[in-house]
Structure 1
Amino acid sequence: MIKVLVVDDSAVMRNLLTELINEPRAIRVVGSAANAAEAERMIDRLHPDVLTLDVEMPGTDGLQLLERVMHTRPLPVVMISGLTERGSDITFRALELGAVDFVAKPRRDPINGLRPYAEEIREKIRTAHAARLIAPERFVAGGAPAPALPTALDPAVLREGLVLIGASTGGTEAIKDVLTALPEEMPGIVMVQHMPEMFTASFARRLDSLCNMRVKEAEQGERILPGHAYLAPGHSHLAVRRGPAGYVCELQRSEPVNRHRPSVDVLFHSGAQVVGPRGLGVILTGMGKDGAQGMLAMHRSGMWTIGQDKESCVVYGMPREAAEIGAVDEVVPLGQIGQRILARLRQPARRIH
């Protein structure tokens, strides 16, 4: 039984979340708190397994409480975030501080609007309970972009190469760690992070402020340029295709794949068909199997594939699924993935076996 403590300043929201979260014989809300002081007392008394935490609260807000909890009594935390620009910025800061995941409150009528997401909320609580917590020494504020690094990449690699990245739970920090380790002089990068529509543009802007390269939300028909990274928008699958002048972003509002839109598998399968040995694929932390079959297709096309290792994953799901079916050429700790991308890009493309 997973014991949950709900923290929200709204009594109506606390009651609703309690109703939606409780699951017979699996998940039980053991208490609810209206503010930070009450929450800290309940944590000491009730010993919950997972905390759900409202982002914006009066007095000591969700971020301040999260930081205190993660330093004094680390717990898996799922943030409850409003679908606003301010809400998304605070949510990304919460993920930096160690929150495992977040639930987005619908902008209109958040009380009734949350009801259809009951199973998603419970799934995120289950995932958080199984997640690896990030060590407190990683809790640092976002700083200046990383210093430029020498690449000495062949101009043909910059022009013809492509890096494809997929991630889910824990992926916002993992993608940030990978991209900030890379220089501006890189082949184009295309990425899928499982995330609601209202958060992807904000996430791209956050990455852009931290990285050497330009990071933006992908647009339909947009040419993929060296030194640029493109994030799939939350409303569409992202695929790559060949245009007259090089690779192009293709957005698809088709049905979810592996319950996700955008789906990592959609991106990776397109990379296998269009890029092949000229590309490099990376699969990062996340729950489930999205991306595993696509990575296998990329591997079989001659593309070099990298999977994040278990010890550095918040959730070792997607990389494990890819490794178990033989789709991963090398397993690498998160802190070394940027270096390995650069090392592989300096080597000739391998032959297709």
Structure 2
Amino acid sequence: MHSVASVRTFTTIGALTVACVIAVSTSAFAKDPGGSQFDVEGSNEKDSGQTLESSIVFSGSTKGSGGESSGGFTPIGNWSPPACWYEPKWTPAEFATEFQKEWDIPHASGVGEAYNLAQDHYKNGNPYEDFNESETGKGLWWSAVRDTDREEAGDPAAFACDTATFWVENGETPNVENAVTPDILAQLAYNRIKVPDTKVTLAPETTTKVNLPTWAWLDQAEFKEVSVTASLNVGGVNIQATTTAKPVSLKLEPGTADAETYPSSGECAFNDDGSIGEPYAKGKADRTPPCGIKYLRSSGDGTYKLQATVTWEVTWTGTGGAGGDLPNGTFGADQEVVVQEIQSVNR
């Protein structure tokens, strides 16, 4: 399955030191490849800029590529993939066309002044001249991109890329945080990985008894390595990275303090064949399950919410032999368990 990043591309001149205080209404603002510094005062940052598709393509086990009982995992700790980044967008001619198109608006009070500042910056030699037309074939204009989901959720990180649209010569890596590299692509791929549902098989199934060990296991066919490749091929910039997640453990949380887990930590390791735990079979009633739970109190008229969470170990490899580790991720699900009070159990 291949997908193109659902993101918002925008350009900003916000890093420039030119001061431009413009007093006009909220509805009149510049949507400009030249940038948000030239947006008139009072405009909504979320509405400024232009909406374009990112050129990054994702393939592999991506979210949205089928299967309802699956999703993306949550990074352990405070780390998160970039909510915005920079990537190559235009040749000089393309940028000039885009610039003029976005500025082709009635010059209301204040907008004309912002337009003149943008013209000076990209066309009139302060510092760029004619959108760097003389450098055609020697580089590209790079611009910032927002992750649409995180932008719409109001995540401040989506608005952190405020460096002005900038020129990058061929073969150079921009000295700007979150400019696309294999490492950044790997992090973006992390955010696209789809992992299977974590509903465990139980024996007894759904209804168990007080003080009766309940066996839990996961099928080896479902839990195996998954990966997503993110690639970018624009105007000679051709890089990629593959991010791979490997399941390493299952954490069982019974949903009540009146329970014991097997093992006592509640952490069940994966077996060599990719399965976890051991299926219950006739004749195992007197054995302690390698992965499971024993409830010590009835759930009464209700249920306990058993939570099963799989931890995934994440690594990546990329263009030029780059690679490394990324934070582990977790993905879990709840399932209802009924626990009945039975004084004696005939096994």
TM-score range with shorter-chain normalisation? under 0.3
Normalised TM-score (structure 2): 0.23
Structure number having the greater strand percentage: 2
Structure number having the greater helix percentage: 1
Normalised TM-score (structure 1): 0.22
Which structure would you say has the larger Rg? Answer: 2
